[in-house]
Amino acid sequence: MSTVLHDDDVSPAAPVASDSRTFRRAWADLRTGFGQRELWALLGWQDIKQRYRRSLLGPLWITVATGVTAVAMGLLYGELFGIDIKTFLPHVTLGLIFWNFISQSILEGSVVFSSNEGLLKQIPSALSVHVYRLVWRQSIIFAHNIVIYAVVMAVFPQPVNWTILLIIPALFLFALNAIWVTVVFGILSTRFRDIGQLLATVVQLVFFMTPIIWTTDNLGQNAKNSERLKLVELNPMFHYLEISRGPLVGAHVAAYHWFIVIGCTAVGWAAALLVLRNYRARVAYWV
């Protein structure tokens, strides 16, 4: 005897849960984007070529501009503060080179998605492709600028030892931080455009608060107590410069500088994964 099934007797299928807002999808976007390295490497190099198109020196203008600025500031502030130019010029030069990497990662990262609206909507790629593109472009600029350090070291030799190898993990940490900074500020600035303007003001202010064109040794000699030095250490950028500049001039870098940078990197990546999980799918609609 056959049984007739009515519509009311059939249980509705359970809805399939969407995983579009999960950490797994956020991490998959970062992994997929990194796998598309041919795309972001080509786009990053094209950015450099386009910026200096039809110029006589081409990308070498990056090195010239940074070198002139470093020498001018080193001579000027060295004379004002009464610091030996042989030690101060390498200090300023490396400070500007690494600061340019940090500041441009923040400022250009805040507009990385809004300035690539066409590519976001036309090229089927991971969102993180544009993040890696920016980090690669900043790495190329850094490679141009580090030539200035070699020239300065040839003119004013510094006592360099095996600790110079610490620049390798330092640069790795710089790249990791550039990635999370671009993800966080890039996505949030796409939704709230005022963030980009605020970042430009904050970055300029932090530049003067960071020992780039001045030194903590000079501050310690002129301060009546060590409280001012403690205020300097509240600035995270101070620690980033210490782990990168110190090995290149043969200076001892205390372990706590590394711990602070690693801690900032971990917190930043947690924030990047959280932002990617919640807002990754909305970026194409916000640009």
Tens of pLDDT along 214-245? 888 766 555 455 667 778 888 999 999 999 99
- The radius of gyration computed from the CA coordinates of the chain, to the nearest angstrom, equals 24
**pLDDT tens digits, 79-126:** 888 888 888 899 999 999 999 999 999 999 998 888 877 777 777 778
Give residue 19's pLDDT band: very low, low, confident or very high (50, 70, 90): low
Nearest Cα residue to 75 out of 89, 96, 93? 89
Give me the sign of the Cα torsion angle 39, 45, 49, 52.
Answer: positive
What's the predicted TM-score (pTM) here? 0.85
Q: Which pLDDT score is estimated for 231?
A: 81
The pLDDT of residue 13 is above 90: no
CB 91 within 8 A of CB 249: yes
Nearest Cα residue to 195 out of 106, 103, 100, 286? 106
Token reading at 230: 């403690």
Nearest Cα residue to 163 out of 260, 259, 254, 265? 254
Q: What is the mean pLDDT of the chain?
A: 84
Those residues with Cβ within 8 angstroms of residue 8's Cβ, 6 or more apart along the chain or in another chain: none
Quote the CA–CA distance of 69 and 95 in Å, as a whole number.
12
Half-sphere exposure of 121 (CA within 13 A, CB side): 9
Nearest Cα residue to 44 out of 102, 116, 97? 116
The pLDDT of residue 38 is above 70: yes
Quote the CA–CA distance of 117 and 125 in Å, as a whole number.
13
Q: Which pLDDT score is estimated for 14?
A: 46
Quote the CA–CA distance of 285 and 287 in Å, as a whole number.
6
Q: Which pLDDT score is estimated for 22?
A: 80
Q: Which pLDDT score is estimated for 5?
A: 47
